[in-house]
Amino acid sequence: MTKTCLAPSFATLLQDFFVDRLMQQRAVSPETIASYRDAFRLFLQFASDRLGRCPTDLTLSDMDASLILAFLRHLEVERHNSTRTRNVRLAALRSFLKYAAHRDIASLAVIQRALSVPMKRCDKPMVGFLSRDEIQHLLTAPDPDTWSGQRDRVLLATMYNTGARVSEILALRVGDVVLGPSPCVHILGKGRKERTVPLWRSTARLIRGWLPQIQDASSQRLFPNRSGNAMTRSNVADRLRLAVTRAKDQCPQLAKRRISPHLVRHYLPFLIMSCSRVMVLFF
């Protein structure tokens, strides 16, 4: 008698996708895990409401093209998500479906139709930039007489110097910084790609003055919060807003700008392309 091989449940597939596929086999970054988790949290809630069943009762066959399209419309119309965010959520669902196709052969037809749901084209906005005067006022805005102000000065200067993403800056540890004759910082970037970025003497000087304020261990976060733990993206955004508020007194034009960490990190490429001789001023 031939044994019947039962297909894994939807719950089992989803758990295996996160634990086995993403975390163990592909070893993706915590940021990617969080993004996929948020996408499925939203999708499961939507599917549960639409189908009238608990998330634990959903099946892989429920995840068809019509449900996915309805979910994407829900994101754009009701949650007012951008096209880019809509595509990020869809990418998470597609990644799971491709994994599930190897585990549940009986659902291949449903999966194939679901995978045909296309990404939506979106325009890439032009990245703005800050003037030299604006960036200088912003970098010196945090109060140097407070612990948080000292940290914020070093954080903003490092972000500006390296052009690193917020997630890359927050992941830095003391051991990633080299403060020798040729100071540099080792950054683990998107896709686990490593790169070494030279530090200007002014940035290295700030970091050297900051290190005595935190624990002297190579595994210590370079930019911790007050409790010694890692800062979050929202922490950085809040501290940047505070710096902008302080800088506006000396640089009123900042009040008319929408300043974000993304804008700060993109100032360096603008300088290099437009006026490389200005870089001499920062060494």
DSSP annotation string for 110-148: HHHHHHTPPPPP-PPPPP----HHHHHHHHT-S-TTSHH
Tell me which residues are annotated as active site.
165, 190, 262, 265
- In this structure, the answer to whether residues 261 and 171 fall within a common structural domain is yes
Instruction: Give 169-197 pLDDT, tens digit per residue.
Output: 999 999 999 998 999 999 987 767 889 99
Assigned domain for 48 exists: yes
Q: 184 and 246: one domain?
A: yes
Q: Which domain holds residue 197?
A: 132-282
Is the residue at 5 inside a domain? no
Q: State pTM to two decimals.
A: 0.62
* CATH classification of the domain holding 105: 1.10.150
Say whether pLDDT at 277 is over 50: no
Q: Is there a single domain that holds both residue 48 and residue 162?
A: no
In a domain, 125, yes or no: no
Comparing 198 with 273, the larger pLDDT belongs to: 198
Residues 6 or more apart from 33 whose CB is under 8 A from it? 18, 22, 23
Would residue 124 count as lying in a domain? Answer: no
Q: Is residue 127 part of a domain?
A: no
Q: For residue 274, is pLDDT > 60?
A: no
Question: What count of other Cβ atoms lies within 10 Å of the Cβ of residue 53?
Answer: 13
Number of domains in the chain: 2
CA distance 158 to 56: 46
- The CATH number covering residue 207 comes to 1.10.443.10
> pLDDT band at residue 216, thresholds of 50, 70 and 90?
confident
Considering 115, 150, 170, which residue would you say is the last residue of a domain?
A: 115
Note whether 41 and 162 are same-domain residues: no
Q: Coil, helix or strand for 186?
A: strand
Would you say residue 38 lies in a domain? yes
Same domain, 101 and 148: no
244 and 155 assigned to the same domain? yes
Same domain, yes or no: 138 and 103: no
Instruction: Assess whether 139 and 87 both reside in one domain.
Output: no
Neighbours of 166 (CB within 10 A): 21
User: Are 137 and 277 contained in the same domain?
Assistant: yes
Task: Tell me: do 265 and 223 sit in the same domain.
Answer: yes
User: Domain check: are 109 and 159 in the same one?
Assistant: no
89 and 23 part of one domain: yes
Q: Which segment, 4-8, 11-15, 256-260, is predicted with the most confidence on average?
A: 11-15
